[in-house]
Structure 1
């Protein structure tokens, strides 16, 4: 297992994919966090005076700003995990890997661990962006960035955990759909179109909201405990009603089911 993990680590760090995605994540999350902090930090009083406007207590702003790491950035570790698998099918690097370690379950387990650690690093990168830009902008607008609060740092830990789980889920997706183009299309279509529509649709009735809370994105928001989307009505009827540990368990379940399905199907086929 240790040898397999060492091999998987070398596969990741010897290509440019990880740091290119990390740089894009840094810029994307930083821009979004700064925009939200500036917009809602500066307009807080006007929003509070407008009955039809979304009401955001000042104490909730830091969590919303910092959680942009997962709210808009979770797709990066998800794609990274999928590419970590599909790239091996595309370039046939699985052939020498399986010759060196014929136990394919061990290879997949090692990849899950290594990519999960990489996902946690993506989470740290996202927090550097959201906190590094969001906190100063909040301060400039007269709001407390809450960097001295233990709740903020517990939020940060949950964000890192969520990003690690999204990367592991990406490995499961890539294992189940080994075609690189198809897996990326599925990931983007589901995260950017299908799930947002489902979350909005299930929020209409209470009984459907109880089902919608188990969607991957809803579970991720529950794990983190804050999200820009849930704060502004995208599933406000109950999308974040799970406890943080329950949301984490739901994401773990998705990762296990997808990985086992991939192990039982495409991972067992001839890769040459």
Structure 2
């Protein structure tokens, strides 16, 4: 098993795919962090003005308690975790398309061993991407944010945890769909279109039709966004003082957690989607004729 894991590592490190996708990942994460910090700073500057003093008095909070930079952090994480998903999809579908997987299947004890090795290696890559995303997002926020807008150490730890878990699960979803849709261009277009366009339109029409908001939290994008979004919404509301009840759902939507459950339940829901995709790929690969 150890040799198979090493072989899978060599497959992913001897091509430029891992760093070719890591570069735009960290650049986008850094840009998202910079923008998040600027938004938080702008809010503090506004609420510190005389025009906003009455609002602060009514709500019973000071501007530093409204950590709006958290919302930008959530959105940055949710957007950039698409890259490890694409990495997983491209790496596995490309391996099948180029038939380099043939040697692995022929030399491994069983195909189950091969799929387990892939599971371990791509989970590791998901964690690496997740740590990079969180690190560069945090760097951007620290560089531009007002000090009062920065999360404390416990908040950073929680955000890092959900970012890494989200990145691992997104990577495994990509691997699963890459095994089912072995066309490199096809699986990439499908994933990008679904996560950026299709489900966002579906969520829009569900809200327009006044469908139960909880439905959104059971969709793939709604579930994975709900992980980070629910944490951010809870962290924000915990320090925000008195928030009108009608504003709470708006804040959850702003964080990307509209209709989402608690972060751990959103993780379980998305894990179900990942298990469906990876399990389907596993079933196909263990029975597929290799030439």
Where does residue 58 of structure 2 map in the other structure? none
- Does the CA-based 8 Å contact 1:203-1:235 persist in structure 2? no
Alpha-carbon distance between aligned partners in 1 of 2:184 and 2:253, rounded to the nearest angstrom: 34
Give 1:90's aligned residue.
97
What is the count of residue pairs matched by the alignment?
261
- Could you tell me how far 1:37 is from its partner in structure 2? 1.9
Residue 144 of structure 1 corresponds to 149
How far 1:17 sits from its partner (Å)? 0.8
SS in 2 for 1:67: helix
Give the stretch that moved more between structures: 256-265 or 60-69. 60-69
Q: Does the 8 Å CA contact 2:21/2:83 hold for their aligned counterparts?
A: yes
**Could you report, residue by residue, the CA deviation over 1:146-167 in whole angstroms, capped at 9, with x for unpaired residues?**
2x33122112111111111110
Q: 2:157 aligns with which of 133, 153, 158?
A: 153
Cross-structure match for 1:20 = 20
Q: How far apart are residue 180 of structure 1 and its match?
A: 1.0
1:145 positional shift: 1.2
Indicate yes or no: 2:174 matched with 1:170.
yes
Alpha-carbon separation, structure 1, partners of 2:290 and 2:251: 45
Q: Contact 2:33–2:140 at 8 Å: present in 1 too?
A: yes
Shift of residue 144 of structure 1?
Answer: 3.0
Gaps of 5+ in 2: 56-62, 234-249
TM-score by length of 2: 0.80
Q: Within 5 A, what are the aligned runs for 1:43-192?
A: 43-44=43-44, 46=46, 58-101=65-108, 103-139=110-146, 143-146=148-151, 148-192=152-196
Q: SS in structure 1 opposite 2:260? A: coil
Distance (whole Å) between structure 2 residues aligned to residue 206 and residue 114 of structure 1: 43
What residue number does 1:257 align with? Answer: 276
Change (3 A) 1:170 1:240: same
Over 3 Å counting, the alpha-carbon distance change for 1:241 and 1:249 in structure 2 is same
1:220 aligned to 197, 204, 224, which one? 224
Q: Secondary structure at the match of 2:149?
A: coil
Higher helix content, 1 or 2: 2
**Over aligned residues, Cα RMSD in angstroms?**
2.6
The superposition leaves residues 79-109 of structure 1 with CA deviations (integer Å, 9 ceiling, x where unpaired) of: 0110121111122111101111152232122
Deviation at 1:201, TM superposition (A): 2.4
- Looking at structure 2, the residues matched to 167 and 45 of structure 1 have their Cα atoms a distance apart, in angstroms, of 39
What is the Cα deviation at residue 176 of structure 1?
1.2
Write out per-residue CA displacement over residues 102-135 of structure 1, whole angstroms, 9 at most, x where no aligned residue: 5223212221221111011111111121101112
Is the Cα–Cα contact under 8 Å of residues 17 and 91 in structure 2 kept in the other structure? no
- Does structure 1 conserve the Cα–Cα contact (< 8 Å) formed by 2:227 and 2:266? yes
The structure-2 alpha-carbon separation of the partners of 1:200 and 1:138, relative to structure 1 and needing over 3 Å to count, comes to same
Structure 1 unpaired stretches of 5+: none
SS state at 2:15 partner: coil
Q: Deviations over 1:212-271 (max 9, x none)?
A: 1111222112222238xx8484697x7253111111111211111111212233653223
2:258 to 239, 252, 265: 239
Is the alpha carbon distance of 1:200 and 1:109 closer, same or farther for their aligned partners in structure 2, counting shifts above 3 Å? farther
Structure exhibiting the larger radius of gyration computed from Cα positions: 2
